[in-house]
Amino acid sequence: MFNHIMSVKKIKTIFIGTPDFGIPALRALIKDEVFDVVAVITQPDKKTGRKQILTPPPIKLEAQKYKIPIYQPEKISRHPIANIDLIVVAAYAQILPENILSTPKYGCLNIHGSLLPKYRGASCIQAAIMAGDKETGITIMKMDKGLDTGPILAQRSIPIENTDTAGTLFDKLSLLGAELLLPTLKDHIAGKISPQSQDETLASYARQLKKEDGLIDFKKSAEEIERFVRAMSPWPTSFYHETRNMKHGDGKIIKIIETNHVPIRINEYEPGKFFVFENKLAMQCGQNALIIKKIQPEGKKIMSGEEFINGYKNLLAE
């Protein structure tokens, strides 16, 4: 019955999103015969990198491949939306106003990268890694005027591996979101889903990260810092300010790119000190230490721990 109805009239859909996270979902909607993606709304092009090159959002580039109309308002509240059946949102970074939320016949649905109500907000993937959670997942929810507070339509979980970074988990959840989206949308439109309210007593919030949030707190344990390094990869990356003498021409920021995930039980040095352990670079933490696999002094390329030992002996503990 549902397929017969949909063959007569496609669901007029607007997709709203910005980063790569939403690309698999957008592709799935475009390729499905039930939905007609009539427009994409995304953030304005922004200057990025050292050369400040004006760069379009990934969702814009994807929409251009299919010649879908694209709108990039500074504030979505100023963009008129009418005669739409459905809005799908994925990582847009703006809260939709009530006049837009109430417009589509089937509502505005959001693809969120956590198992709500845990980790509402922008850095939900990083928060799950830092907390040491064993699993995370995707929530598809019907949006309301709050931030990720709307009733839940569907959820699916995946394990967090001890080698996962925010980047690898981002990719996994992006694909999972697209996989869960279409059957959820079709069941929702057919009236087969009873939206479930979120338990506010279990809610937590993960604010948007800034570049300075990558600063390492060496007073924390090796286990916490190891998770922090993975959570900050690939952005903003974990780093610290080196106050000792650097080589001529080097900057003062050192980035920790990758560590072993198993700490070593050494507590002989001041937190933040580098030392050599079994011919490998190690870093003392507040409790226990970590083997550093990849590291990057400011102004230099990423190097192995062993290369750092050979080039920066002055930074190693005696």
Ordered per-residue pLDDT tens for the chain, 318 residues: 445 444 458 999 999 999 999 999 999 999 999 999 999 999 999 998 878 999 999 999 999 999 999 999 999 987 778 899 999 999 998 899 999 999 999 999 999 999 999 999 999 999 999 999 999 999 999 999 999 999 999 999 999 999 999 999 999 999 999 999 999 999 999 999 999 999 999 999 999 999 999 999 999 999 999 999 999 999 999 999 987 765 555 558 999 999 999 999 999 999 999 999 999 999 999 999 999 999 999 989 999 999 999 999 989 987
DSSP element (H, E) containing 172: helix 166-189
Report how far residue 72's alpha carbon sits from residue 28's, in angstroms, rounded to the nearest whole number: 22
Cis peptide before 183 (omega within 30 of 0): no
Question: What are the residues facing 90 on neighbouring strands?
Answer: 17
Instruction: Tell me what pLDDT residue 219 has.
Output: 96
Question: Who's near 201: CB < 8 A, 6+ residues apart?
Answer: none
Beta strand spans in 42-94 (E): 46-48, 53-55, 70-71, 86-90
Give the pLDDT score at 48.
86
Write down the residue that tokens 């003392």 correspond to.
284
**Pairing, β 35-41 against β 108-112:** unpaired
At residue 113, what are phi and psi to the nearest 5 degrees?
-90, 45
Per-residue pLDDT reduced to its tens digit, 63-110: 999 999 999 999 998 777 889 999 999 999 889 999 999 999 999 999
3-state secondary structure of 198: coil
Q: With b meaning 16 or more CB within 10 Å and e meaning fewer, what string describes 225-239?
A: bbbbbbbbbeebebb
Q: State the pLDDT at residue 80.
A: 79
22/301 Cα distance (integer angstroms): 31
**What's residue 311's pLDDT?**
93
Q: What is the CA radius of gyration of the chain?
A: 23
Distance CA 285, CA 225 (A): 8
The per-residue pLDDT for 242 is 87
Please say whether the beta carbons of 282 and 290 come within 8 A.
yes
Distance CA 317, CA 275 (A): 5
pLDDT at 49: 81
pLDDT in the model for residue 7: 47
Mind listing the domains of the chain with CATH numbers? 2-202 (3.40.50.170), 211-315 (3.10.25.10)
pTM for this prediction = 0.93
Indicate the helix (H) or strand (E) that contains 256: strand 253-259
Q: Which positions ≥6 away from 253 have C-beta within 8 Å?
A: 239, 240, 241, 242, 297, 298
The token pair at 240 is 């610290």
Q: What is the dihedral of CA 71, 73, 76, 80, to 10 degrees?
A: -60
Other CB atoms within a 10 A radius of the CB of residue 98 amount to 10
Which of 230, 291, 293, 228 is closest to 263 using CA atoms? 291
